[in-house]
């Protein structure tokens, strides 16, 4: 029997933040599937293939696939269905197949749909853990994200200012992923609650990495897709 199809977590952007196990899986792979997007100007972008390339993996082994970023996810699922079909074919030809995910492959990672579909069809799969963006963010800021009895809540961006306020009052430290989806709620919260520390992170682990705690700036900032916030009491 050959090795399972491996889902390798790449970490948040800095190529050095992959695990040794993930790196070895990439080095042994014949085909590494990497999601890519097309910018408005028609340029193909793939953060994951950039990471994989900078780890020394030959471009011949990199199979980029286009992932439409529209709100309507049905197009993305069509793309995943074709990755699924290609991965099975290559696997049956005896090739070592890797499918990558940014951050951790099991943490708000829609590619997990392909994992589940392979598993449901009795194709052996295995997931290799990685560093999620919020953990790398904490390190960038030198934070102790949660300590002692503190509780952590991770939210995927579909929240109101009132909800955020309630969770904070209950004593949770909050991580908000997909921050661009709740820009208004976050602006509102910052403008009315100055007694929390708002740690903002953008493009962590890349050349465009940015971190700030400056609430005056954040209260009117637009948040790009690759941004997150950690909110805790001061």
Q: Which is nearer to ligand SAH, 96 or 109 (CB)?
A: 109
Is position 13 an interface residue for ligand SAH (rule: CB under 6 A)?
Answer: yes
Q: Which listed residue (22, 35, 103, 138) binds ligand SAH by CB under 6 A?
A: 103
48 binds ligand SAH (CB under 6 A): no
CB nearer ligand SAH, residue 53 or residue 178:
178
Q: What size, in residues, is the chain?
A: 234
Q: Which of 51, 52, 100, 133 binds ligand SAH (CB under 6 A)?
A: 133
Residues 50-89 that bind ligand SAH (CB under 6 A): none
- Does 225 contact ligand SAH by CB under 6 A? yes
Q: Is 233 exposed, middle or buried (0-12, 13-18, 19+ CB in 10 A)?
A: exposed
Q: Which of 43, 48, 60, 58 is nearest to 14 (CA)?
A: 48
Structure tokens at 26: 């990439």
In this chain, which of 132, 155, 172, 189 binds ligand SAH, going by CB under 6 A? 132
The alpha carbon of 60 is separated from its chain's Cα centroid by a whole number of angstroms, namely 25
Residue located via tokens 């002692």 = 148
Q: Which stretch binds ligand SAH (CB under 6 A): 90-98, 139-147, 192-200, 226-234?
A: 226-234
Asked if 108 touches ligand SAH (CB under 6 A), the answer is yes
Residue 61 in contact with residue 32, Cβ under 8 Å?
Answer: yes
Residues 139, 119 contacting (CB under 8 angstroms):
no
Q: b/e for 70-92, b at 16 or more Cβ within 10 A?
A: eeeeeebbebbeebbeebbebbe
Closer of 102 and 168 to ligand SAH (Cβ):
102
Any contact of residue 18 with ligand SAH (CB under 6 A)?
Answer: no
Contact residues for ligand SAH (CB under 6 A)? 12-13, 101-104, 107-109, 132-133, 177-179, 201-205, 225-228
């Amino acid at each position: 029997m050959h090795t399972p199809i491996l889902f390798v977590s790449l970490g948040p952007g800095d190529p050095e933040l992959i695990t040794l196990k993930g790196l070895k899986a990439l080095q042994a792979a014949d085909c590494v599937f990497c999601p890519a997007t097309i910018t408005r100007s028609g340029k193909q972008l793939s953060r994951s293939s950039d990471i994989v390339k900078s780890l020394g993996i030959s471009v011949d082994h990199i199979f980029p696939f286009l992932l439409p970023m529209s709100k309507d996810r049905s197009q993305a699922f069509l793309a995943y269905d074709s990755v699924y079909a290609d991965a099975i074919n290559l696997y049956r030809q005896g090739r070592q197949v890797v499918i990558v995910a940014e951050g951790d492959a099991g943490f708000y990672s829609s590619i997990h749909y392909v994992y589940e579909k392979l598993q449901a069809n009795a194709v052996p799969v295995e997931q290799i853990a990685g560093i999620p963006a919020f953990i790398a963010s904490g390190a960038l800021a030198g934070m102790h994200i949660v300590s002692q009895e503190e509780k952590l809540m991770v939210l995927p961006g579909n929240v109101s200012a009132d909800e955020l306020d309630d969770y904070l009052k209950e004593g949770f430290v909050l991580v908000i992923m997909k921050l661009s989806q709740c820009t208004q709620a976050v602006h509102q919260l910052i403008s009315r609650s100055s007694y929390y520390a708002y740690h903002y992170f953008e493009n962590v682990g890349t050349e465009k990495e940015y971190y700030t705690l400056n609430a005056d700036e954040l209260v009117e900032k637009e948040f790009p897709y690759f941004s997150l916030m950690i909110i805790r009491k001061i």
